[in-house]
Structure 1
Amino acid sequence: MNKKDVFVAHRVYLLLGALFMTSLVVSNLIFQKFFYWYPFNLNIFGASLFEVSVGILPYPITFLITDLISEIYGKKAANQIVVTGIFASVFSMLIVYTADVVPATNWSPVNDSQFTNVFGSTIIAVFASMMAYLFAQFVDIQIYHYWKTLTKGKHLWLRNNFSTFLSQFIDTLTVLLLLCFFGKIEWTKFAGLLISGFLFKVLMALIDTPFLYLGVYLFRRRFNLKVNEEIHLI
């Protein structure tokens, strides 16, 4: 590639990284609100089958981005994004903890108890999310590249969905185990939330497949990349 293409490729990589970090950090901050993602209220194992945390909404974006980076920039670049995401999560946790510790003024629109009620569980949530995220993302990247090598860069839908299905199950299982262990979610809701969360993530993985195809198509067209050819920036 010429210098202009390298510059553009770097810029796009940074933008994808910014979207990844934002989605990851925000998912940790908003996790305490739950909603029904389907109008029917079907109970299973003590919890609604379609009840999930709003924190799950931006989270599938992180897997879409790592799959896109894996496809275009390679395994090393994708792993670097994952490691950077851990740093971003820890840093956000420290900021929230500091904000929770300092006392509010008597005229503050949000008092100490309100702030603690909303963000007080963030530290545990970030810890649980980091552990789940660490396992899931590395599994996703490993499986993605295994299938990419096996299929010689063909069948993009296969590696995208199969890597995401397994990694999302690991992510959902790990984060729920930790949140239940720390008492943030009742154990009676564990099985229902596990099934509901995994089904929602599987649905999102299927929905984002066309977007991955579009992203890969645009990259290959812009940088004249062949099938299975990668841009090596790092």
Structure 2
Amino acid sequence: MSEKSLSGQEKNLAFNIYLILASIFIASLVVSNLIFQKFFSFDFLGLYNFEISVGILPYPITFLVTDLISEIYGKKNANKVVITGIFASAFSLIIIMLSDAAPATEWSPVGNEVFHTVFGLSALAVFASAMAYLVAQFVDIRIYHFWKVKTKGRHLWLRNNFSTITSQFLDTFSVLFLLCSFGVIEWDLFGVLLLNGFLFKLLVALFDTPILYIFVYWFRAHFGLKAHEEIRL
């Protein structure tokens, strides 16, 4: 893969878009860890009824963002976002633990028990998710760039789906295994949650391919990138 140097205004625009994508990635990751305790039912066209955590809703966005960054900005910049996400998760973990330990006043609208019920398990969720996400994201980036080199920048759909499907399964399996091991979720639910989570992420991965094509097309048209070129920040 070759890098394309931009000048002046274009470079500033490319960098600002990179920051926006990174912020979307980090926000999606942190929020998914905070809301994971609520589960909902989702009927997909009468074919399958999903029972999944609401925390899974923003999570696929992180893989779409890293694939887009990998495609346009390269493997190195994608890895930077992943590492930044780890620090953001660790920092949110510290804030949650300190907030949970702080005693509520008598007049506090949210008392100690309610706060602990909602956020008390978030520390374990953040840790489990961070470990699973670390493995899944680096696998996603590696597979994506492996196929990008093999296809010489062509067949975007192939590397997007191959990388995302593999990494999403690893992520779903790892986070559920850790949450069950910590006693946050019962082992009896492991199989059904694994199936529901992976199938849902698989559907999202298939549906986000056109979105990735639209963004990649815009980037290449606006910055004059060829299939094998990446932006040098």
Which band: TM-score by shorter chain? over 0.9
Cα deviation per residue 1:7-61 (whole Å; 9 max; x = unaligned)? 111100000000000000000000000011216697xxxxxx6111000000000
What is aligned with 2:114? 114
What is aligned with 2:22? 17
Please state whether the residue corresponding to 1:231 is helix, strand or coil: strand
Q: How far has the Cα of 1:99 moved from its partner?
A: 0.7
Q: How far has the Cα of 1:228 moved from its partner?
A: 1.6
Identity %: 63
Unaligned stretches of 5+ in structure 2? Answer: 1-5
Q: Does the CA-based 8 Å contact 1:41-1:50 persist in structure 2?
A: no
Partner amino acid, structure 1, of 2:202: V
TM-score by length of structure 2 reads 0.95
What is aligned with 1:206? 206
What is aligned with 1:88? 88
What is aligned with 2:171? 171
Q: How far has the Cα of 1:63 moved from its partner?
A: 0.2
Partner Cα separation in structure 1 for residue 42 and residue 148 of structure 2: 33
What is aligned with 2:224? 224
Partner amino acid, structure 1, of 2:228: N
Partner Cα separation in structure 1 for residue 7 and residue 141 of structure 2: 28
* Alignment partner of 1:7 out of 4, 9, 12: 12
Please state whether the residue corresponding to 1:38 is helix, strand or coil: strand
What is aligned with 1:148? 148
What is aligned with 1:27? 32
TM-score by length of structure 1 reads 0.95
Cα deviation per residue 1:87-139 (whole Å; 9 max; x = unaligned)? 00000111111111101110111000000000000000000000100000000
Give RMSD over aligned pairs: 1.2
Partner Cα separation in structure 1 for residue 225 and residue 140 of structure 2: 23
Partner Cα separation in structure 2 for residue 11 and residue 37 of structure 1: 36
Partner amino acid, structure 2, of 1:23: S
Please state whether the residue corresponding to 1:129 is helix, strand or coil: helix
Q: Does the CA-based 8 Å contact 1:71-1:228 persist in structure 2?
A: no
- Relative to its length, the structure with more strand (as a share) is 2
Partner Cα separation in structure 1 for residue 37 and residue 183 of structure 2: 13
Please state whether the residue corresponding to 2:104 is helix, strand or coil: coil
Cα deviation per residue 1:177-214 (whole Å; 9 max; x = unaligned)? 00000001000010110011000000000011011001
Please state whether the residue corresponding to 2:229 is helix, strand or coil: coil
What is aligned with 1:60? 60
Distance 1:109 1:41, change over 3 A: farther
Counterparts of residues 132-143 of structure 1 (less than 5 Å): 132-143=132-143
Partner amino acid, structure 2, of 1:31: F
Partner Cα separation in structure 2 for residue 37 and residue 207 of structure 1: 16
What is aligned with 2:3? none
Unaligned stretches of 5+ in structure 1? Answer: 43-48
